[in-house]
Amino acid sequence: MTTEIAARARPAPGDGGRGRLTVVGTGIKSVSQATLESADVIAAGDEVLYLVADPITEEWLRELCPRAQTLYDCYAEGKPRVVSYHEMVERILEPVRAGRHVVAVFYGHPGVFVHPSHEAIRRARAEGFEAEMLPGVSAEDCLFADLGVDPGPLGCATFEATDFLIHRRRFDPASHLVLWQIGVVGEPAYRKQRPADDTGVAVLAETLLEHYPPTHDVVLYEAAQLVVCPPSIVRLPLGELATAPVASMATLYVPPRERRAADPEMLRRLGLPLKPEVHRMHTTKSAASID
């Protein structure tokens, strides 16, 4: 453990054992995507509470901290997710209030589609406790790598699928589109198995067909959770999405429909050349731009 990380992982001398919270992520692929920083903090925590997706990561956490306890028991069949999230937040904050250094562990990036992590930090700070979040590898990071998608040159819009539908989110079909949690569209309660009725996916497909042709290829994607397993990448025409089998953890990637032409007037105002290839190069990192 480095001196810098160790100093942050343990309460400073003379702080009176004041409680604090550190939220970390383990990445998507079991253990292998956890950072050294997160591992050091977990090992140094007084209390470790976790919500992870595989038994290998769970065992690794218990090796780092034998006292580690799962938050998975906050879920129950048919129980509203918001109620489960509230219980998780209370479980996390209780030992903080008792003067403990609590480490809350979530799979993936702990700040991406993880309501309890943000709410626990917000409430801890509001009550006067120190609280911070350490980044982790998210499913979106894995998607960019596995599908070879660079969100920079054409832009990328990311939405939770239910939110995308009920708020009629605006997006540009000439950019990349990523829709999360399409396997639980319109499902407010926790379910161990998806219902046979895929109405939510059908509604999502119908909405997307307002912007893309039925022949437009899309991808049903699931990042690999184990080192020995490949990611799940299923390519299909958008017109077949409504009847396709969709896993609960699936993400939908929709590639750009077209390449949008540059605005000549804006190019002139910015003093940029009119050649399209120059604009593409302009949006790519160069060695000189990296500190």
Domains, the chain: 3-137 (3.40.1010.10), 140-254 (3.30.950.10)
Question: Which pLDDT does position 65 carry in this prediction?
Answer: 94
d(CA 206, CA 237): 13
Band (6; pLDDT cuts 50, 70, 90): very low
Residue 42 has pLDDT above 80, yes or no: yes
CA 94 to chain centre: 26
Contact 163, 180 (CB under 8 A): no
Band (53; pLDDT cuts 50, 70, 90): confident
Give the catalytic positions in this structure: 81, 85, 107
Question: Which pLDDT does position 248 carry in this prediction?
Answer: 85
How many percent of the chain have pLDDT more than 90? 70
Region of residue 271 (left: phi > 0; alpha: psi -120 to 50; beta: else) = left
Could you give the maximum distance between any two Cα atoms of the chain, in Å? Answer: 66
The pLDDT of 111-135, averaged and rounded, is 96
Question: Which pLDDT does position 7 carry in this prediction?
Answer: 43
CA distance to 29, 117, 121, 123, per residue, from 16 (Å): 38, 25, 21, 21
Band (11; pLDDT cuts 50, 70, 90): very low
pLDDT tens digit sequence for 57-78: 999 999 999 999 999 999 988 8
Residue 214 has pLDDT above 60, yes or no: yes
The pLDDT of 235-239, averaged and rounded, is 98
Question: Which pLDDT does position 273 carry in this prediction?
Answer: 86
Question: Which pLDDT does position 277 carry in this prediction?
Answer: 55
The pLDDT of 198-206, averaged and rounded, is 91
Band (186; pLDDT cuts 50, 70, 90): confident
Question: Which pLDDT does position 14 carry in this prediction?
Answer: 32
Question: Which pLDDT does position 58 carry in this prediction?
Answer: 94
Question: Which pLDDT does position 281 carry in this prediction?
Answer: 47
The pLDDT of 142-152, averaged and rounded, is 96
Determine whether 167 is exposed, middle or buried from the number of CB atoms within 10 Å of its CB (0-12, 13-18, 19+): exposed
Name residues whose C-beta falls within 8 Å of residue 176's C-beta, 6 or more positions apart in sequence: 149, 151, 154, 155, 156, 157, 253, 254, 255, 256
CA 47 to chain centre: 24
Alpha helices by DSSP H, listed for the chain, are 3-9, 36-44, 55-64, 81-97, 115-126, 139-147, 151-154, 161-166, 199-208, 264-270, 276-282
pTM: 0.82
Question: Which pLDDT does position 228 carry in this prediction?
Answer: 83
pLDDT tens digit sequence for 106-119: 999 999 989 999 99
Query: Residue 277 CB: number of other CB atoms within 10 A?
Result: 8
The two tokens of residue 93 are 């904050």
Band (193; pLDDT cuts 50, 70, 90): low
Question: Which pLDDT does position 291 carry in this prediction?
Answer: 36
